[in-house]
Amino acid sequence: MHPSTTSLERFMSGDLSPIENRDIVRHLVAGCSSCTEETTRLWDVVITGRSAPVPPPEAYERAFDRAREKAAATYSQLLREKDAAAARCLELLRLAPQQQQMLVRNNPSFQTLSLCDAVLTSLEDTLFDDAAAAVNLANVAQQIAEHLEVSVYGAANIADAKARASTLAARAFRETSDYEAAERALRTARAHLDEGTGDPTEKAKFLSSLGSLLTARRRSHEALKVYDELETLHSKLGDRHMVGRVQLKKAFTHAKLQEPEAVIELLHRSIELLDPARDPRRQTIALHNLVLALVESGRPEEAKQHIDELRRLHTEQGGHLNQVRFRWLEGRLAYALGESNTAEDCFATARTEFIELEIGIDVALASLDLAQVLFDRGDLDQAQERLTEAIPILQALGVQPEARAALAFLGQALQVRAAGAKLIRRTAAFVRRVQVDPSARFRPEEILSADSDATV
């Protein structure tokens, strides 16, 4: 991107911040002939206030050298800041939230752009394990951004930093299901972007977070429009990997709309575009969800073709929860292929692990999967027992009352021998619906009316 004429004028007159000065020097040194000609033309206009012949080359070179020296000094300062940022970030992370805020307010060495970015990186690393801690880190990053010196970083770069902090704050709020706070954070981010540098990567981060929030709020069609805009932006930048990430986000949104064929198509496209060397975790997520979508769409033979590669990826990347989820997926694939013994082992193992990990909704779903296998082999007592055992566990883990009611109803139906295979499947489908739509209400008559095997 070429600097504007106004920026070049301010560069010639020495009115830019050190970072803005550095960026223009880098652009000129890179050999941009049009900007060099424009800078030369502006020399006399800016310095003397009148149009005149081009100044002697040595005068231009002296001014250029001074600007380059100033920018080089600033660049060295920024490198020193970046080197110190990691240690200062660790120091902040050891403190209680109130102490963090006090240190940022009162110590200039904790008011740097590099530290702000380091805190935001820590936020992203924390997000999936401890969303509440991520919210606090977002507050710290926002406070650092508020204390950045305009004379050092420039107003536009500071606005970008504030936008990044607010965008990531929105992600953290979304993970804690505080959607109102997430929307406020995104409105703040949008306002800062309007005052920023216009960097398309900053806009992309904002659009990605906005799309995810709209999806979480079940405004899926609005989310897809945002993702279309995001895909266009990444395509213009020539970033295939990021286009692949957008396909993955679109797949999750279509899954909420219960459009399995669109999900499968988007996941295939995502896997084709994603760069495993750049983001191996994302590649694994895409393949895992492709296998799941194929199983749920009644295409287990296709899913089986990918299971060995998915096992390798999960083994390489580790993570106990990911291993448990893969074991559960193996069970669902085995059941779809008619391998009931393998499926039972997988479901039982996954259920036990989810109880230990205290992931309530997955305990419910794994219990239903296990009950299905037990029912199929005629062991109704064990099927009913597994469901009855799950109810107090689900209550202790805070699972939605509607999901607990569905499992309790199914358990009673099994107890009086009034449940059929379809009733189990439809109960599982309802619990999965609750997972993405907390407003869903359990109505036994709706499930029973669609289940010809049930006689209750």
Q: What are phi and psi of 68, to 5 degrees?
A: -65, -40
What DSSP string describes 366-421? HHHHHHHHHHHTT-HHHHHHHHHHHHHHHHHTT--HHHHHHHHHHHHHHHTT---H
What is the C-alpha to C-alpha distance for residues 121 and 143, in angstroms, rounded to an integer?
15
Find the mean pLDDT for residues 212-227.
Answer: 93
What whole-number percentage of the chain has pLDDT above 90?
40
Cβ neighbours of residue 105 under 8 Å, at least 6 residues apart? 143, 147
pLDDT of residue 28: 55
What whole-number percentage of the chain has pLDDT above 70?
77
Say whether pLDDT at 212 is over 80: yes
Say whether pLDDT at 8 is over 90: no
pLDDT of residue 282: 92
Find the mean pLDDT for residues 131-148.
Answer: 88
Q: What is the pLDDT of residues 15-67, one digit of tens each?
A: 666 566 656 655 654 556 666 666 666 554 444 444 445 555 555 556 555 65
DSSP state of 169: H
Number of C-beta neighbours around residue 192 at 10 A: 21
What is the C-alpha to C-alpha distance for residues 263 and 435, in angstroms, rounded to an integer?
18
What predicted TM-score, i.e. pTM, was given to this entire model? Answer: 0.70
Radius of gyration of the chain (CA): 28
Say whether pLDDT at 79 is over 70: no
pLDDT of residue 447: 65
Instruction: Give the Å distances, CA to CA, from 419 to 6, 159, 389, 423, 424.
Output: 75, 60, 18, 6, 7
| pLDDT confidence bin for 307, thresholds 50/70/90 | very high
Say whether pLDDT at 404 is over 90: no
Structure tokens belonging to residue 197: 């540098």
What is the C-alpha to C-alpha distance for residues 70 and 59, in angstroms, rounded to an integer?
17
pLDDT of residue 25: 57
| pLDDT confidence bin for 444, thresholds 50/70/90 | confident
pLDDT of residue 1: 63
What is the C-alpha to C-alpha distance for residues 111 and 120, in angstroms, rounded to an integer?
14
Tell whether the torsion through CA atoms of 342, 344, 349 and 354 is positive or negative: positive
CATH topology of domain 220-299: 1.25.40
Cβ neighbours of residue 95 under 8 Å, at least 6 residues apart? 103
Find the mean pLDDT for residues 302-326.
Answer: 93
Say whether pLDDT at 238 is over 60: yes
Find the length of the chain.
456
pLDDT of residue 77: 60
Q: What is the pLDDT of residues 241-294, one digit of tens each?
A: 999 999 999 999 999 888 999 999 999 999 999 999 998 999 999 999 999 999
- The pLDDT mean for the chain works out to 82
Say whether pLDDT at 360 is over 80: no
- The larger pLDDT score, comparing residue 424 to residue 119, is at 119
